[in-house]
Amino acid sequence: MPRETSPHAPGGEPSRPIRSWVRSSPGTHVWLAVIAITSLFIALSSDGLEHYLLHRNSSNLHELSRHPMRALLGSAFWIENPESLLLYAVLFEFFHAPVERWLGTAKWLVVVATAHIAATLISQKVVLEEIQDHDVPRSMAHVVDIGVSYGLAASVGILTYRLPRPWRWFYLAGAVAFFAAPLVSTHTYTDLGHAISLVIGLAFWPVTRHPRTGEDPAHPR
């Protein structure tokens, strides 16, 4: 007789939904795993090493002018505060994973990469102009600019089209308010980058017309 699998064993039934979810959004979970590793490095590093790692992988003006490709790529795999890892894990599961599962890894990656690169370059261009106009100190060229929030904002934007009407309009209003409020009140370059990323996510509406699942984006299951 075949041996019955215990529901509490590693290969038992409770583990299958989790395994299936991870396999359906591999890019999201590989990205999250890399961030977990880099966050562990930061948590275990001395203050001097932490300062070096964060600045070396930053996409600020200094690093963009010297190592543009490394700055743009590296900054997407680090977060400044390792304590925020759990929060980012939740946000990845709520926004990145559903979008990747819906559109497919390739389309999802195009959306988040476009937002990350464009928002970084545009926001840093604003910083450069403000430095040249003497509106901000030259030290702004060396500030730490890392994180995954630009890509998250893009997923928040494109996920609008996954929701049926009229709920999508409430969701969109909430997303716009969430990112517009700090832009209006504090108007930092990071706030500008978030707003740009949200708009880029919304602008990718054409890729939602033929999602990987074959569902009508206006009437998902």
**Model pLDDT for residues 119-160, shown as the tens digit of each residue:** 999 999 999 999 898 888 888 888 888 889 999 999 999 999
Instruction: Please write the tens of the pLDDT for every residue from 202-220.
Output: 999 998 887 665 444 444 4
Which residues 6+ apart lie within 8 Å of 156 measured at CB? 95, 175, 198, 201
CA distance 98 to 8: 27
pTM score of the predicted model: 0.84
Is residue 40 within 8 Å of 47, Cβ to Cβ? no
Instruction: Please write the tens of the pLDDT for every residue from 175-184.
Output: 999 999 988 8
Q: How many CB atoms lie within 10 A of CB 19?
A: 10
pLDDT at 51 over 70: yes
What is the average pLDDT score of the chain?
Answer: 86
Which residues 6+ apart lie within 8 Å of 109 measured at CB? 27, 100
Work out the average pLDDT over 76-82. 89
Query: What is the phi-psi region of residue 211: left when phi exceeds 0, alpha when psi lies from -120 to 50, beta otherwise?
Result: beta
> Would you place residue 15 in the very low, low, confident or very high pLDDT band (cuts 50, 70, 90)?
low
| Segment 62-66 long-range contacts (CB within 8 Å, at least 24 positions apart) | 62/141, 62/142, 64/120, 64/121, 64/124
- Extract the tokens encoding 109: 């990656």
